[in-house]
Amino acid sequence: MAEAFYRVKEGEFVRHLETKSITKVIAQESIEEPLKFVVVAINANTKMAYAMRHGRVDELRTWRLDNLAKFLKKHNVASFETQYQR
C-alpha cells in the first residue's frame, strides 16, 4: 500500500488533513495498549502514510477511540476505518 511511512506531530498531521490530500484514515489498535488506537492517514496518490506521534518524543500517540473520533470530526474527517489486533 504505502511506500513511505512518516511519524509526524499533530500540527503536520492536521495540515495533511486540511489539504484534502488524505484519501484514507485508519485507527489501528496499539500492540502495547489494548483498546488504544494509533491514527494513520494515507495519501494514495503519493503512496505516503502519516502516523501521529507525541510532540516531545518519537513514540506513536495512542487514543481512546471516542477521543480519536472527536479529534477527526473536528478536522472534518467524515469516516475512518478501525482495525483491531488479532
Q: What is the pLDDT of residue 83?
A: 95
**pLDDT above 70 (res 2):** no
Q: What is the pLDDT of residue 3?
A: 80
pLDDT range class, residue 86, cuts 50, 70, 90:
confident
Q: What is the pLDDT of residue 1?
A: 55
Q: Which residues lie closer than 8 Å to 33 by C-beta, 6 or more apart?
A: 62
Place of cell 506521534: 53
User: What's this model's pTM, rounded to 2 decimal places?
Assistant: 0.88
Helices (H), 1-86: 10-18, 65-74
Mean pLDDT of the region 81-85: 94
Name all domains of the chain by residue range, CATH numbers in brackets. Answer: 4-83 (3.30.720)
Closest residue by Cα to residue 62 from 81, 39, 84 = 39
Q: Are 47 and 2 in contact (CB under 8 A)?
A: yes
Place of cell 486540511: 18
